[in-house]
Homo-oligomer: A and B are copies of this chain.
């Protein structure tokens, strides 16, 4: 592969191209994985990814990741700028952002954001930025 294919990507600049919440944009692909940027706003749908671990890394603002085991108790953790969390495959979760928040995601290529949850206005295919 030519070395000319390795280009610098400005994450803040790419983030500026995303206007809508829950609309992931792909900024890098490697080893069958993708790096995506997404804006969080409000509560996302409960869902899980049966075949994909998913990493969230906070770039701007803060959000709360909620987990539930079956339908019973909910556990929540708070993340601010510079924090990351890995949501293991098969674990039901939903991010909730009371204020504006931007995150970087690392996950396998092709993951749908709402996983096994119902399709809705929050279901958006990732586009290459």
Contact = CB atoms under 8 A, between A and B. Distances in A.
Interface of A: 1-12, 27-31, 33, 35, 52-55, 57, 65, 67-69, 75, 77-79, 82-93, 106-108
Given A12-B82, A65-B6, A67-B6, A54 B30 contact: yes
Give the residue among A53, A68, A107 with the most B Cβ atoms within 10 A. A53
B55 A2 contact: no
16 contacts: A2-B69, A3-B68, A3-B91, A3-B92, A6-B88, A7-B85, A8-B77, A10-B83, A11-B82, A11-B83, A11-B84, A30-B53, A30-B88, A31-B33, A33-B33, A33-B106
